Structure 1
Amino acid sequence: MEIKINDILRYKKPACHENAYEDGHLNFHFLTNVPTSKKLQLEKGINPSAALKTSDKELVRPVILISSSPNKKGSAETPWQDFYDADNGHIRYFGDNKEPGKDPAQAPGNKALLEAFRLAHSHDIKERQKTPPIVFFKRVTVNGVPKGYPMFQGLGIINSIELVTQWDNNKQQSFTNYAFDFTVLCMAKEHDTFEWDWINSRRHPNFSIQDTNKKAPASWNQWFKSGANELNTVRRRVSKLQIVKSADQKPTIGSEQEAILNKIYKFYDGRKHHFEALAEFITERVIGKELGIYHKGWITQGSSDGGADFIGKVVLGSGFSKVELIVLGQAKCESLTTPTGGNHIARTVARLKRGWLGAYVTTSYFSDSVQREVIEDKYPILLINGKRIAEEVSQLLHESDTYTDIDEFLDFMAERYPKRLKQRQPEEILYV
């Protein structure tokens, strides 16, 4: 049977594996039923299955189930908070030691996870193949009932371990424990579905690791063959769904926008610094000129730009109840057929101070990797590609009575450029 991340199962007591569904949800006990094996449970936070001998006579643990209960945060049972971010491929989970003075490595759940970490990070593929899959669940409330509804959160491998000191509010004592950081694996090749039969096939005595792995996600087998250095490559990233492909960042061939972008590039070729005036103009339109929240500052002179090509600010609110955010702009008149370099984006981000926004304007486009970095690291930077520039200019020409064609508009921007130059520091925009 297949399940997807965020599918809610029913974990009912007493356990009954006969019905596929209970109370409108897939029955956990039906899903995990293997007559020749001990039942899988979610009674604890860390639930290791019993180790079995494989067809190669190796003792291997088939699976470890991890369950988190957000509703128990701060209680005597769970005096800490786990962090689940499956969509970005990360889970931070605190182990099962709660006893002051006790070696946390001896707690049964921690012990199983420490062994799984050792195997997963072995350079020996024969050792690595013994690594148990770690499957995550998070208990959710359904119809006001906080128990009995585990939500599937994916499959993972331990990325790192940290020994931490925690505080139990109820006992008013500190204790040592382990914090485990897991990489949640991507299942894009499986269309984001998880084949649970892979887990069940591992729970039969004398199972073959090689045969059962044919049912494993492609990311698992990719990691298994290459080792821990592959973990970042196989990490789940829902942000991929937000990425705009290169073809969609370019004007349609033969369109008015393509002709406009080509004229813009040719116009600034040989005087690319002048492109900063157009970049400033486009940024104002994109942020929302009609809303009046973007205020132009100036185009910076080369000797005093501090890495910025133009400076502006965004004003939110009015009167006493307002906040002003500095906008640091970068303008790049680049080849229309080559993506802008990630190093340019990194340099722009590095210059942003707390409360600043970035705007990166290019005649080119942004690669998948650059977009992913901006999305996943939550950089406060606005990306404006060549297609958007062409669209804004095209719209302006259709709306305006001032310019008869693109050439007249570009000539106006060229005249405007030297008048916009200022030798000032970015912070001065707040006093303008």
Structure 2
Amino acid sequence: MDHARLLPMLEIMRYAQGASRVDVELDGYLNYHFVTASVEASDAPRLMLEAGINATAMVDTPDGRRRPVISLRSSPWKAGHVTNPWHDEFDLDHGYVRYYGDHKPTKTGLPGVTAGNRALLDAWALHAASDPSARLQAPPLLIYRSVTVSRGGRNLVKGHVEFCGAAIIERLEHVVQRDPETGRSFPNLVLDVAVVDLADTGDALDMRWIDDRRNVKLDAERAARHAPMSWRRWIREGRAAIPRSRRRVTSSRVRSAEDQRPTPGSAEAALLQRLGLLHR
């Protein structure tokens, strides 16, 4: 593929389970299945968002088995219900998401018994690794949240998702939660993730990166050729690079002291001089 296939941050997409993978738009929104379809392998399985934690199957590559990607879906409209008694937290301007695992109040055993939590535990071992070669294998987390849209005079809570970025697992903890319906306590996982900066591609994710990670012919290093610069910095430097790799929208709005000074000779400059707040 010669050109980037970009998925912009905060893009709202139409997510329909059996939608075409060749139609760019669906019901006036970007078609999720178009933008996430592998160009290199048209027969590759779809990247589904049917569960909260959606881990692709492992693939065999020249340098070993790897999981291409894990897609996380948060459904705010379910928060506080018996099926989802926890509340995920989003602060995308500062590149932070707190996401709870998929252990339910009715599930027995430790948090790793569910498929989603097991995939997150496996990913954490690579995200927390001190060896760059291990981090190179780490599956990126692609984060989405369900959004309510108005169409045809109706508010639709299902069928649309907002892209919230690609992320590194910064911390993973075991927690005890309480089911608000029954009062029962149950164990779960909670992740603090760093949403990475996508400034080098205009605050959008180059989906060729995900295509490459799914390509069984590519080793991990070649599969990272279209990864964001912030992700590649983290691969090289590890945890110490996270503060510089994190998405920070507000930083671009902060002006230096010099930039905030009024134009010399202006009325604003004269006023500040009279107040003794501007050095001559």
Change over 3 Å in CA distance of 1:245–1:13 after alignment to 2? same
**Contact kept in structure 2, 1:185 and 1:220, CA below 8 Å:** yes
Q: How far does residue 245 in structure 1 lie from its aligned partner after superposition?
A: 2.6
Q: TM-score, normalised by structure 2?
A: 0.88
Q: Map of 1:389-400 to 2, 5 A cutoff?
A: 390=269, 392-393=271-272
Q: Distance in 1 between matches of 2:234 and 2:18?
A: 38
Partner residue of 1:75?
81
Deviation at 1:79, TM superposition (A): 1.1
Asked if residue 59 in structure 1 is aligned to residue 80 in structure 2, the reply is no
Deviation, 1:226, is 0.4
Q: Match of 2:225, SS?
A: helix
State how far apart, in whole Å, the 2-side matches of 1:231 and 1:393 are: 40
- AA matched with 1:112: A
Structure 2 partner of 1:117: 124
Q: Is the 8 A contact 2:7 2:35 kept in 1?
A: no
Structure 2 alignment gaps of length 5 or more: none
Cα distance in 1 between the residues matched to 2:97 and 2:89 = 6
How far apart in 2 are the matches of 1:13 and 1:251? 56
Q: Deviations over 1:94-138 (max 9, x none)?
A: 000013542002221111111111111211111111100110001
Greater radius of gyration (CA): 1
**What CA distance in whole angstroms lies between the structure 1 residues aligned with 2:74 and 2:270?**
48
State the SS of the aligned residue for 2:134: helix
Residue 198 of structure 1 is matched in structure 2 by 209
Identity %: 34
**1:91 paired to 2:97:** yes
RMSD over equivalenced CA pairs, Å: 1.9
**Corresponding residue number in structure 2 for 1:127:** 134
Match of 2:183 in 1: 172
Give 2:50's aligned residue: 43
Name the CA shift for 1:393/1:170 in 2 (closer, same or farther; >3 Å).
Answer: closer
Cα deviations by residue, 1:374-393 (Å, 9 ceiling, x for unpaired): xxxxxxxxxxxxxx7x4533
Map Cα deviations across residues 201-248 of structure 1 (whole Å, 9 max, x no partner).
Answer: 211223232223121111000101101121111111111132013431
Residue 88 of structure 1: how far off its partner (Å):
0.9
1:424: which partner in 2? none
Decide whether the 8 Å contact of 2:212 with 2:224 is kept in 1: no
Contact 2:234 2:242 in 1 (8 A): yes
Aligned to 1:26: 30
Letter in 2 for 1:82: D
Return the TM-score normalized by structure 1. Answer: 0.58
1:342-387 Cα deviation digits (max 9, x unpaired):
xxxxxxxxxxxxxxxxxxxxxxxxxxxxxxxxxxxxxxxxxxxxxx
Shift of residue 197, structure 1, vs aligned partner = 1.8
Query: Are residue 247 (structure 1) and residue 258 (structure 2) matched?
Result: yes
1:14 maps to: 18
Which has the higher mean CA deviation after the structures are superposed, 223-232 or 237-246? 237-246
Shift of 1:167: 1.2
1:357-372 residue pairs with structure 2 within 5 A? none
Comparing 11-20 with 235-244, which one deviates more in the overlay?
Answer: 11-20
CA distance in 2, matches of 1:391, 1:55: 69
Task: Report the Cα distance in structure 1 between the residues aligned to 2:201 and 2:258, rounded to whole angstroms.
Answer: 25
Letter in 2 for 1:256: G
Judged with a 3 Å threshold, the aligned counterparts in structure 2 of structure 1 residues 241 and 391 are, in CA distance, closer, same or farther, namely: farther
Tell me if structure 2 keeps the 8 A contact 1:90–1:181.
Answer: yes
Shift of 1:13: 3.3
Matches within 5 A, 1:324-343: none
Aligned pairs, number:
264
State the match for 1:269 in structure 2.
none
Which one of 132, 149, 172 corresponds to residue 142 of structure 1?
A: 149
Query: Unmatched 5+ residue regions in structure 1?
Result: 261-387, 395-405, 411-432
Distance (whole Å) between structure 2 residues aligned to residue 241 and residue 201 of structure 1:
31
Of the structure 1 ranges 204-213 and 72-81, higher mean CA displacement relative to structure 2 is found in: 204-213
Shift of 1:180: 0.5
Distance across 2 between alignment mates of 1:52 and 1:100: 29
Q: Which runs of structure 1 show a deviation greater than 4 angstroms over 4 or more consecutive aligned residues?
A: none
